[in-house]
Amino acid sequence: MAAVSSTTVLVGARGIVANRRTVSARSTRVASTGRKGELQSQTSDSNRRPSRRFPSRFTRDPTLGSKPSQPVRLTFRSVIPHPKTAIIVTAMARETDPKKRVVITGMGLVSCFGNDYDKFYDKLLAGTSGVKMIDRFDTADFPTKFAAQITDFDNEGIVDKKNARRMDDCLQYALVSGNKALMDAGLTDDVIEGMDKTKIGVLAGSGMGGLTVFQDGVKALVEKGPKKITPFFIPYAITNMGGALLAIEKGFMGPNYSISTACATANYAFHSAANHIRKGEADIMIAGGVEAPIIPVGLGGFVACRALSSNNDNFAAASRPWDKNRDGFVMGEGAGLLVLESLESALKRGARIHAEYLGGAITCDAHHMTDPRPDGSGVGLCIEKAVEDAGIDIKEINYINAHATSTLVGDVAEINAVKKAFKGDLTGVKMNGTKSMVGHCLGAAAGVEAVATIMAIKTGWVHPTINQEDPIDEVEGIDTVPNVKAEHKISAAISNSFGFGGHNSCCIFGPYEA
């Protein structure tokens, strides 16, 4: 196959740099042609000549058009036979079309600190641990006896008493957080009635679904026989039912499905929801993750994986990201759902805007069922692709809400990935671990942490990573916000989440600017 000469092509906010010549342009999509040709420049200036011949394997997507602030339209058409190929294409221009810009207009939360995101973030800023001894079942036979469990859960009347008795907690968390996100966005039932419901969708993912319903169904089958299985066994156990029930309640007829990519689930949901809006398939998406795994089979399963901390004597300090004495993660639970909305829709209805979703990416390590690539290459690639999707320079990012599970391998791999993506320069960047206080909420983790990330953007304060007493060598020179909150004006923020199976996800949020 013919190859292109070893010239580097950079497509970005500053234009195309080719053989030391620059053409101002914005190009975000390219496609292969395989025919010899030349770089052609088409501008609003009729006196400007096309640029010099330049080898390339790509063509400018004609559907992108050009704007006054980005006047150049480019077509790349050639392949010159050469034994070496080196073409690098990056996109570094933020979206400006209000139909494709995605903003956050609502947040809904269920957590070990309650259902109010302001109170939740106050607890995080104070460095309060939500980890406690498990009291909902007997843990005598378990080596781990603690978790960041939700106690005294209040569904706030959103779920009636009859359904509350039947439903798995996972479904209740989905309905409560989903309804609260809608209310926070000003999308009351009356407002919704006047909207096009075919353009509103729900994407509420879960790593495990209705685990309690599943556990109880199997128990009923074994102990009493098939006739004693509840008819709600299947509907309330499957992962898609939380989002489906919310859509049924509100009449939302837009995209609706569930993603299950273990602990990366909620970020995958945000990424997919934003793309539905960008493609015009929806104006509004309620998206995120939910999980209710703190039951015997859930705890026992992770004990069997040898993934959990067993620091029963000091459980409040058990979740300690990047500390030399960490010994595994602490289970958590809850839900975090966001209302993602096109800027056009938000402005039209006068909605309050919390923040902007700038971009995101998903990749796979393709390495191991439970362990990440030690060098962090898969995660590093995910961060780089997210930055490209956001159309920003990585130097604009000055806050990272890390996955930071407090596991021996995972913490180091993420640090390696961050260093790779940032080329070792993390000057001015603060990075913290929400899981040090709320544990690992599994499929809901990225949802809960997205709320924390957006609250950091809104308040100008980042919460501490608690329990950092003896940091690992790998974080030397990185500000992990140890033990005490820090004031920090955020220009752009990364929220990382990774899951069993090698599923990597990275979402980038920033302050909304008109």
The catalytic site residues sit at 263, 403, 440
Residues 197 and 252 sit within 8 Å (Cβ to Cβ): yes
Residue type, 264: A
* Among 175, 162, 180, 157, residue whose Cα is nearest residue 242: 175
Question: Please, is 499 exposed, middle or buried when counting C-beta atoms within 10 Å of its C-beta (0-12, 13-18, 19+)?
Answer: buried
In whole angstroms, what is the distance from residue 228 CA to residue 223 CA? 9
Q: How many CB atoms lie within 10 A of CB 187?
A: 23
Q: Which residues contact 266 (CB under 8 A, 6 or more apart)?
A: 205, 287, 288, 289, 336, 443, 444, 445, 446, 447, 448, 450, 497
In whole angstroms, what is the distance from residue 418 CA to residue 388 CA? 15
Residue type, 208: M
Pairing of strands 200-206, 146-147: unpaired
In whole angstroms, what is the distance from residue 505 CA to residue 502 CA? 10
In whole angstroms, what is the distance from residue 31 CA to residue 63 CA? 12
Q: Quick check: helix, strand or coil at residue 106?
A: strand
Query: Residue 481: which region, alpha, beta or left (left: phi > 0; alpha: psi -120 to 50)?
Result: left
Please state, in angstroms and as integers, the Cα–Cα distance from residue 445 to each residue in 96, 305, 350, 382, 481, following that order: 30, 19, 30, 18, 20
C-alpha torsion sign, points 434, 392, 359, 384: negative
In whole angstroms, what is the distance from residue 169 CA to residue 209 CA? 10
Host H or E run for residue 110: strand 102-110
State the DSSP code for 430: E
In whole angstroms, what is the distance from residue 470 CA to residue 246 CA? 45
Tallying the residues shown for the chain, one arrives at: 514
